Structure 1
Amino acid sequence: MEPDQVGRDPLTGSLETVSQIASTNTELLARVGRGDLPFEGNWLVADRQSAGRGRAGRVWNDGFGNFMGSTVAWLRAGDPPAPTLSLVAGVAVIRALHDVCGLLSGAILKWPNDVLVRGAKLAGILLERQGDCIVVGIGVNLVLAPEVEGRETVSLASLGHAVSRDSFAFALSAQWRSALECWHRGEWPSLREDWLAYAHRKGTLLSVRDPSGGAIMGGFAGLTPDGAALLHLADGQRRAIHAGDIELVGE
């Protein structure tokens, strides 16, 4: 696979674009596996993906003009817990959306990796690990809202925002680079507060289906230091959710 174009911004790194690929995440994982190690701050961005995916193996069909890209974070000694990078990526995405839209009314972060606008999914994040490398894949519906089984979706265009893929890519690259540098410096507690400021409100009723298939319902009570979602259960207990599908039941 040869890149179609490489754009470079001195503050944000490089954007390598390809016309079509199975999955930008899969390609970066393959590069890591063969020792072709990507640099932090560099992005692989596709015009089309034929095998894009989300969490839990869900298919994420592409839409030409949408943002579909991946980058990496390399884990270092003393870094915060690796799972918190999903939340850091969410902060970068929503900041980039506000950059290109002025202010995106109704946009919130949903734990652990979605951006919603009035309940509909606008963007998703998928992290995959290989050794000390975390590949961060991000999809944002700029012009089209792909069909996702069991999910309502929305695009920026349908909300009245005309944003080009490359404009968003450079905005996201800058925000991710800034957030990742803060994370490496140990500023996760501050990023955690930023995530909470963008997220569904505390007390929002959430339904969680854990990996074993069990269901839990409770009010959102914040985040643990390692980025797990805290639920306040009906019996007064608090439970940390480290993995599982979460649905917003009500605020």
Structure 2
Amino acid sequence: MTIYSFERLPSTQKWLVEKVASGEVKPPCAVITELQTEGVGSRGSRWIGRRGNFFASVALPATMLPSDLPLGATSIYFAFLMKKTVQKAGSSAWLKWPNDLYLEDRKIGGCITAKKGGNMIVGIGVNMVDAPRGFGVLDIKTTPMELLETFLENLKNPPSWKQIFSNYRLEFEKSKNYCTHAGDETLQLRDAVLQNDGSLMIGKRRVVSSR
């Protein structure tokens, strides 16, 4: 898989979306940058970038995705794959529903996805060396490029959604101490029930990840 590397970009996600749309790059491919100045986080928020942290995006043809992967569960799927990637290297990170990587009670990163035509664009950010106040830093020693290469290696034979979900179902219990957002509304997860497609039932309300 081709990896495009930069010293500085406003956003790896925006760069890859634009380049794939224009035909300048062909999926599967990835982009990584040492410094990101206008990163996109959950719900369109700004992901603050510090040099040395992990800023990368991956473009995959939809044909490379597991056939049983629900579209609404893609952020869970890829965020969990990244969690497994760092966990295999010794990290204690866990995944808060639907796409936030946590270390104990502090967020250290996250994943956003966007389907563009026949491709899935996956953006991932992880604090590796520095973090804003209130956030955490990854608890293993590696480099951004090593982390990306290991993540991409895991995508060569991606697990099914059923395999991912069976593991994540147990970890989801940790998310019940937190909240999530639906539009401008904040929802407590303590009584949420995880569904087979990755969505939640909170009371009589179904909540779907839109990231």
Shift of 1:238: 4.8
The CA distance in 2 between the partners of 1:51 and 1:155, in whole Å, is: 20
**8 Å Cα contact 1:67-1:165 kept in structure 2:** yes
Superposed CA RMSD in Å reads 2.5
State the TM-score, normalizing by the size of structure 1. Answer: 0.73
Higher relative contact order (CA 8 A, sep 6+): 2
The CA distance in 2 between the partners of 1:214 and 1:80, in whole Å, is: 27
Q: One-letter code of the match for 1:132?
A: G
The CA distance in 1 between the partners of 2:19 and 2:204, in whole Å, is: 42
1:98-125 deviations in Å (ceiling 9; x for gaps): 233x2x23x2211111111111011111
State the TM-score, normalizing by the size of structure 2. Answer: 0.86
Residues 103-122 of structure 1 aligned to structure 2 (within 5 Å): 104-105=91-92, 107-122=93-108
Q: Which runs of 5+ in 1 are unaligned?
A: 1-12, 232-236, 246-251
The CA distance in 2 between the partners of 1:134 and 1:94, in whole Å, is: 19
Q: Does 1:126 align with 2:112?
A: yes
Shift of 1:173: 1.6
Q: Does 1:153 align with 2:163?
A: no
1:174–1:66 Cα change, 3 Å: same
Q: Which runs of 5+ in 2 are unaligned?
A: none
3-state SS in 2 of match to 1:16:
strand
**8 Å Cα contact 2:72-2:209 kept in structure 1:** no
1:178–1:222 Cα change, 3 Å: farther
Equivalent residues, number: 209
Shift of 1:162: 2.3
1:150-171 deviations in Å (ceiling 9; x for gaps): xx31112xx4x32222221222
- Percent identity of paired positions between Structure 1 and Structure 2: 22
3-state SS in 1 of match to 2:23:
coil
Alignment correspondent of 2:88 = 99
Alignment correspondent of 2:197 = 226
1:116-136 deviations in Å (ceiling 9; x for gaps): 111101111111222222210
3-state SS in 1 of match to 2:157:
helix
